[in-house]
Amino acid sequence: MLALIPLFPLVGFAINGLWYALVQSRPGAKKASSGVTGTIASLAILGSFLVSLRVFLQLKGMPADARFVEQTLFSWIQAGELSVPMTLRVDPLSTLFTLVISGVGFLIHVYSVGYMSHDETPGKFFSYLNLFCFAMLMLVMGASLPILFLGWEGVGLCSYLLIGYWYTDDEKASAGKKAFIVNRVGDLGFLLGMFLIFTTFHTLDFAAIRDAFHHTSGGLLPAGADFATLSAIGLLLFVGCMGKSAQVPLYVWLPDAMAGPTPVSALIHAATMVTSGVYLVARLSFLYDAAPMATGVMAGVGVFTAFLAATIAMVQSDIKKVLAYSTVSQLGYMFLACGVGGYVAGVFHVITHAFFKALLFLGAGSVIHGMHEEQDIFKMGGLRKKMPQTFLVFTVAWLAICGLPPFSGFFSKDEILWLTYSSPRGSVALWVLGAATAVMTAFYMTRLWSVTFLGKPRTDEAGHAHESPWVMTGPLWVLAILSAVGGLMGIPHHSWLQGWLEPVIHTSHELAPGVTASSEWVLMGASVAGALVGIFIALRFYRDLPAVARLRERLEGAHKVVFNKWYVDEAYEAILIRPLMRLSRGLWRWLDVAVIDGIVNGLGRLSAWTGQSAKAIQTGSIQVYALVALLGLFVTVGYLIYGSF
């Protein structure tokens, strides 16, 4: 039964992909509509969701210490002592991810039917979407690191195909290439970490690695491992997470991924590709518990990424760019949680973020659709009356990401901040940066919401905006409900989610010295107060847009730096890309052209010269040929006679 979960989207990919490649791509062939191809793709991912739900219910009925279902399909890799069967395994952790991937993925597929209705090649688009979901499902269902890596690389390939879907546009094609190349940098770290795991534990199976920890005294250091080795493994794997989950310094690809169609942005940024790094860390939480240096780096990188991305989001004017940097920031929160030992809180934020961020992106897509492809929020305004359904659902997502109770984002964000402050691995400095990021999040999301929907229309496009069709608004309402109530699964001290994940992720309830349980209520109040302050400042500040423009002129220098993303891309261009380009051109000029081409061309010229020289004795005269043969005979006989002595 497990094989059906990834099989359904793979079949959908094959049907739409082959139909497009063999039939629709031919000149003059009748193109299939997004309704037909989208229905095929949507039914495929719906099948995955239904089977995932069935498996979840099956696990729910099992004893807590035996909640896993496993299916071996065939022997995949066999080389010496390395044996990797194609085994799928679902446990409490992976079943949550399969439900989120297939459930939110289904809503995005349905939404795409309306959004891509005017696209010329919807069959190709929906085949890519299905392939993406197949790869992501393989990633979270793999029983070993190589199967996870198969899905890991699969989503990397599909992100390239989907981000650069409109590849005739140079900007979009370049964004796809950028995502692919930056992820390869991180994947090198992943591969090295996987190799080090094999040389240390002699297995790549998650259950076997976990058993190696649990069957040792103290449950910390398995035989053959030491703290340095475990720290190296943790850091190398985290490098892979930096690429896939867009952490500093490998986050630069994700904002440019906005070049793809909006449903792609929702799929990549909400519940699938960018959360794969969090899944990997949670899956190997027992290893990271024994590698405090790696988790310390993870927490630092996470909170810095969250803070940096929030500063950039505060000044962006493109509605999708604001949400893109918001995603980078929220991913930083997830890694901050994992870095201080709150793996369950990190997974919790993955789930709530999937709901409200998918809603925000799809809501932004509805706005863009109603605004005739306009994405500048300062050219909008007054859309509350023009697009009432989109306004209502977007408001729910806005309140959720701001972290106001009782919406889902409040529970997961508050849990992360509490653990950052109270955990022995946390610190006040990490909490201050995390809390400041939360205030900035409330500010820039309120800025986005108010400038887009409140006030009066500022352009003709805004004045003639229209509501999206039901096939687009329907999924928005479902996501709005999930964004409103999804946080109830993780209510503090009565968390169903923590009990559900306990067999997979052990949770420590130890508090840092000097921290009491009552401090949680104080920090909770401070968190809500900070969100309200951010909302209040943004509403007051952006009520008068001319005053905002005047302030921007006075602070032109600082605004320019932040608006241009702290010139990180330009720094990479100057420090890495241009020197590599010069080195590549130099190697091509001196090695390829001078040496390799010189040798090949020299051999060719030598062959031509010997041919021309030999041609001199090819006179066509039989007497000359006989003389040459006679001379050859004399030489041969002379050699034989000389050799006999």
* pLDDT at position 271: 67
Task: Tell me what percent of the chain is helix, strand and coil, each rounded to the nearest 5.
Answer: 75, 5, 20
Provide the pLDDT for residue 267.
Answer: 87
What are φ and ψ of residue 72, in 5° steps?
Answer: -100, 125
3-state secondary structure of 87: strand
From the list 363, 351, 355, the residue with the least C-alpha distance to 322 is 363
Is residue 465's pLDDT more than 60?
A: yes
pLDDT in tens, 204-229: 999 999 988 876 655 457 767 788 99
389-404 residue pLDDT tens: 999 999 999 999 999 9
Residue 32 has pLDDT above 90, yes or no: no
Interval 43-62 mean pLDDT: 96
Q: List helix spans (H) across 491-621.
A: 496-501, 519-541, 545-554, 556-563, 568-572, 578-587, 597-615
Q: Per-residue pLDDT averaged across 458-473, rounded?
A: 91
pLDDT tier at 512, thresholds 50, 70, 90: confident
Tell me, what's the pLDDT at 129? 95
The dihedral through the CA atoms of 106, 110, 115, 119 has a sign that is positive
> What is the chain's Cα-based Rg?
30
Q: Which helix (H) or strand (E) holds 84?
A: strand 82-90
The partner residues of 376 in beta bridges, in order of sequence, read 318
Place of tokens 């070049």: 259
pLDDT at residue 234, as a whole number: 96
**Which pTM value belongs to this model?**
0.91
Q: Of 327, 341, 504, nearest to 416 (Cα)? A: 341
Sign of CA dihedral 576, 578, 583, 588: positive
Q: Could you report the per-residue pLDDT of 582-632, keeping only the tens digit for each?
A: 999 988 888 888 889 889 999 999 998 888 887 776 777 787 788 888 888
The answer, yes or no, to whether residue 313 has pLDDT greater than 60, is yes
Which spans in 143-249 are helix H?
145-163, 170-201, 206-214, 227-244
- Is there a cis peptide before residue 63, judged by omega within 30 degrees of 0? no
pLDDT in tens, 365-393: 999 999 988 999 999 999 999 999 999 99
Contact 128, 9 (CB under 8 A): no
- Please name the residues in contact with 211: beta carbons below 8 A apart, sequence gap of 6 or more: none
Largest CA distance in the chain: 115
Residue 269 has pLDDT above 80, yes or no: no
Closest listed residue to residue 72, CA positions, set 142, 130, 9, 8 = 142
Determine the Cα–Cα distance for residues 495 and 411; give it in Å rounded to an integer.
10
51 within 8 A of 7, measured Cβ to Cβ: no
Q: Return the structure tokens found at 321.
A: 């760019």
**Domains of the chain by residue range:** 348-561, 568-644
